[in-house]
Structures are given as structure tokens and as C-alpha cells.
């Protein structure tokens, strides 16, 4: 594959117009290649004007009236309804609020309560050793609070580790380091066959590929709970609000039996502006709201989600997935062709059905320094300890020529040995 061939692929790409939704003019002018959208999506062009409208007109002029007049009070649910279209859920079952970790605490608490009420002998929360650390911190803390055990196993052993003592299986759909993707449908069925509840973290999949939380619609194939991030592939801006989903079979039970989520707050009350002294949870997933919605951040998040929904007219999430597979396959092939002999090892699966939308490459001695040297050459990826160079492929805006240029510069960094310069050995706070 040559660079000219990549340019030709971009010209033929039916999804190419989607890149124009983002403020990438400065990057294009400087030749910068941005491959870190799996950590922070770029700025949607519409977001700056929308946030300015919220700040200057709705807040500045409308003041508190904007909760009603500008629709602030329903903004989070309108956004949740849009996210539902991206994850195979029904509108009312998705909530936008808080952070991914906070939302995980809520749904894991609910799952543990349900699982142990039905089968008190189930005392294990099962997850992967390599799951995102924040998820494991939340799970460990909650397990300790409830007298449960957090059991960690290797990714290949997850299904085999399910047993009669498993209450909940908690997994991230796409591994944040390696890019390995679980078969959501088959793992969910295995968890249910073992009598456990299934929670998915969609932080590295929602917005980059089709997700079907309801599976085939059967109880066995439908997940129980899910959480997800707003600032990665959903392009909602730094620290954007996250989302959660609860299957209606569980919220109906919570309604019937009066169960609360652990962070009961006034926006999760059935009638928040009644200001009642006693707490009465809102029906359905709305109970998982807590405090006042962050309106400015929500406005930016909606612009980001709209960039993903814009793909619907050009083939939808299936088309995004096809492009993602093509781009990641090209990246892997080019690395193996052009960077051989420099100690790199691709750790992302070659099998496309097991691959998310980023490529991870290991280097035993200098992964962090190589990433820093690559950034100095105008290719932004990131480093994940202890030895991973990670490159996010966001099919909404990543081009085939971006992949070629990134690997070309990676080859130059390796061949020149410039990554060994002491300035690249200084690790920044955020990697």
C-alpha cells in the first residue's frame, strides 16, 4: 500500500464528508495526525457556537427561566434518547448523568442487590484482570461493602470462570489497552446461563461501532445494565457527562419492590420540584439520576452525539464499523511491513470480529518515549502502562492517509533512534 493508494481510498470513501463536522482545520494545515479520539474526541464545529448560545443567551439573558423556556429541564433525556439509538436500547431506558465510574457504582449496586436477593449464595463479582482500573476500583469497593468478593481472571478464562457463586459479570466491551473486543451476545448468554447478571462498559465501543444491548431481544441475549463514556467516540468534550442503561425488566422490579439506587438525589425523585422530605424514586431508569444536570456540558455533548448520528444517512453504524475494520487492518499491516526489526509487537487481535477501533502496539523498552517522539513529529497517540503505544481509529474523521502518515512517521522515529533522546524520557502527568 502506497500513500497515493491511501489518498485514492479517501476519495472513494462514502463516509469522508463526516470529517467536515470537526474543527480539524489547524491540524490539517500543520500536518498533524490525531489518533487519540478514543481518549478525547475532537471538537465538533457546532459545539462552540452551541455552548456560546447556552452561556450568553440562555444563561446570560434567560437566566433561571431557561430551565423551562430553553428546555434545560429535558435536555439530558433528549440526549439519552439519541444515545439509545447508538447502543440498541429504547429511549426511556437510557440516562445521561455523572461520570462513567459513578454510573457504574449505581448499576453495579443495583445488580448486586437483585442477584443476591434471588440467590443469597451468589457472593462473587467476576471481571477481567485487565479491565479498566477505575471499574475494578468501583467493583472492589462495592464488593467489600456488601460482603462479596471481586474475582479477577484472564480474558480467555471469563466464561469458564462463571459458576453458581457468580452474582455479576462486569466486562468492558473493548479492552482499553489491547483493543480486544468481546462477543457481547455470546458472553451475555453465558452469564445468564450461569445465573449471573451482565454489566457492560461501552466506553471504547459506543459511537465507533454498532452495539446491541438487547441482543436478539430474548431475555437470555439481553444485557442487564451498561455504562458508557461521553468524551471518547461520542465527541462530547473533556469530562463530558456519561450514560447508563438498565434493562426495563430490572427497573420494573425496582419500581414494584421500592428499591433505590445508592445515590438517591433530587433529580432521581418522582417529583423533584415537590421538594418532599421523603424520597420516592422516579419510575424506570430515571431513578438513576442524582444531582442537577450540567447544562453547559450537556449542550456540548449533544453536538458530539449528533456527529455520530449524522452517519445514518451514509450507511449508519454498520458503515462506520466497516471503515474502522479497514483502517485498523491497514494500520496493522503497515506497522508490520515498515517497522519490522525495531522491537514492536502488535497486540491488537488480527481477527476483525475480536477487534475494537484502536490499535495497540507493545514495545518493551521505550513505549512511552516513542509516543512522545511521535507526538513531536505531529502524530498524537497515547501511552498505556507498562508498554503500550495506543492509536485510536475514529471512522467519523480518521482517513486512510492519516494511517499511512502515522506509520511512516513511526518508522522514522524508530529508524533514527530519536526516541532515545532524554527529553522524551520525561513522562507527563497525563499520558
Neighbour-count burial for 237-262, b at 16+ CB within 10 Å, e otherwise: beebbbbbbbbbebbeebeeeebebe
Give which of 264, 268, 395 is closest to 319, Cα–Cα: 395
Query: What does the alpha-carbon distance between residue 199 and residue 213 come to, in Å, rounded to a whole number?
Result: 10
- Residues forming beta bridges with residue 346, ordered by sequence position: 361
Name all contacts of 272-279 with Cβ < 8 Å and 24+ positions apart. Answer: none
Give which of 158, 176, 175 is closest to 166, Cα–Cα: 158
Residue 201 annotated among the catalytic residues of the structure: yes
Other C-beta atoms closer than 10 Å to the C-beta of 102 total: 16
Q: How far is CA 180 from the centre of its chain?
A: 14
Q: How far is CA 89 from the centre of its chain?
A: 16
Q: Is the dihedral of CA 215, 221, 226, 231 positive or negative?
A: negative
Residue pair 295/73 in contact (Cβ under 8 Å)? The answer is no
Residue 232 annotated among the catalytic residues of the structure: yes
Sequence-distant (6+) residues with CB within 8 A of 389 are 344, 360, 361, 362, 363, 367, 370, 371, 374, 381, 383
Q: Is the dihedral of CA 61, 67, 70, 75 positive or negative?
A: positive
Residue 231 annotated among the catalytic residues of the structure: yes
Residue pair 158/126 in contact (Cβ under 8 Å)? The answer is yes
Among residues 22, 34, 176, 231, which one is catalytic?
231
CA of 354: how far to CAs of 114, 161, 181, in Å?
Answer: 31, 20, 5
Among residues 123, 177, 180, 390, which one is catalytic?
390
Residue 34 annotated among the catalytic residues of the structure: no
Among residues 82, 177, 232, 287, which one is catalytic?
232
Residue pair 204/197 in contact (Cβ under 8 Å)? The answer is no
Among residues 201, 306, 387, 402, which one is catalytic?
201
Residue 137 annotated among the catalytic residues of the structure: no
What φ, ψ does residue 320 adopt, rounded to 5°? -60, -40
Among residues 22, 34, 132, 243, which one is catalytic?
132
Query: What does the alpha-carbon distance between residue 26 and residue 29 come to, in Å, rounded to a whole number?
Result: 5
C-alpha torsion angle, residues 48, 49, 51, 56 (rounded to 10) = 130
For the annotated catalytic residues, the residue numbers are 132, 201, 231-232, 390
Amino acid at each position: 500500500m502506497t500513500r497515493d493508494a491511501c489518498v485514492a481510498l479517501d476519495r472513494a470513501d462514502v463516509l469522508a464528508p463526516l470529517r467536515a463536522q470537526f474543527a480539524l482545520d489547524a491540524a490539517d494545515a500543520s500536518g498533524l495526525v490525531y489518533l487519540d479520539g478514543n481518549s478525547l474526541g475532537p471538537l465538533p464545529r457546532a459545539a462552540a457556537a452551541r455552548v456560546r448560545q447556552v452561556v450568553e443567551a440562555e444563561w446570560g439573558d434567560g437566566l433561571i427561566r431557561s430551565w423551562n423556556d430553553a428546555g434545560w429541564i429535558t435536555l439530558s433525556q433528549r440526549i439519552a434518547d439519541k444515545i439509545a439509538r447508538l447502543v440498541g436500547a429504547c429511549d426511556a431506558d437510557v440516562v445521561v448523568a455523572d461520570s462513567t465510574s459513578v454510573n457504574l457504582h449505581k448499576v453495579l449496586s443495583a445488580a448486586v442487590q437483585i442477584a443476591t436477593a434471588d440467590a443469597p449464595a451468589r457472593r462473587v463479582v467476576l471481571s477481567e484482570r485487565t479491565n479498566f482500573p477505575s471499574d475494578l476500583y468501583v467493583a472492589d469497593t462495592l464488593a467489600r461493602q456488601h460482603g462479596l468478593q471481586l474475582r479477577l481472571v484472564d480474558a480467555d478464562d471469563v466464561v469458564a470462570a462463571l459458576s453458581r457463586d457468580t452474582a455479576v459479570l462486569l466486562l468492558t466491551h473493548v479492552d482499553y489497552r489491547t483493543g480486544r473486543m468481546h462477543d457481547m451476545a455470546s458472553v451475555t448468554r453465558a452469564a445468564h446461563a450461569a445465573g449471573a447478571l451482565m454489566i457492560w462498559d461501552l466506553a471504547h465501543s459506543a459511537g465507533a461501532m454498532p452495539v446491541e444491548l438487547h441482543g436478539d431481544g430474548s431475555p437470555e441475549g439481553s444485557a442487564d445494565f451498561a455504562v458508557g463514556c461521553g468524551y471518547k467516540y461520542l465527541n462530547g468534550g473533556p469530562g463530558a457527562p456519561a450514560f447508563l442503561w438498565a434493562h426495563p425488566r430490572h427497573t420494573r422490579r425496582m419500581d414494584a419492590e421500592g428499591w433505590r439506587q445508592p445515590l438517591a438525589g433530587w433529580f432521581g425523585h418522582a417529583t423533584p420540584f415537590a421538594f418532599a422530605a421523603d424520597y420516592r424514586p422516579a419510575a424506570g431508569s430515571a431513578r438513576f439520576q442524582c444531582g442537577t444536570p450540567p447544562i453547559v456540558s450537556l449542550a456540548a455533548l449533544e453536538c458530539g452525539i449528533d456527529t455520530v448520528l449524522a452517519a445514518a444517512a451514509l450507511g449508519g453504524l454498520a458503515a462506520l464499523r466497516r471503515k474502522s475494520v479497514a483502517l485498523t487492518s491497514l494500520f496493522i499491516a503497515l506497522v508490520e511491513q515498515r517497522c519490522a526489526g525495531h522491537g514492536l509487537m502488535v497486540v491488537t487481535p488480527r481477527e476483525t470480529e475480536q477487534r475494537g477501533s484502536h490499535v495497540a502496539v507493545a514495545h518493551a523498552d521505550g513505549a512511552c518515549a516513542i509516543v512522545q517522539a511521535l507526538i513531536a513529529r505531529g502524530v498524537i497517540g497515547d501511552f498505556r502502562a507498562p508498554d503500550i503505544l495506543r492509536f485510536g481509529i475514529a471512522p467519523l474523521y480518521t482517513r486512510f492517509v492519516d494511517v499511512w502518515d502515522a506509520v511512516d512517521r513511526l518508522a522514522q522515529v524508530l529508524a533514527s533512534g530519536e526516541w532515545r533522546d532524554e527529553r522524551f524520557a520525561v513522562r507527563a502527568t497525563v499520558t
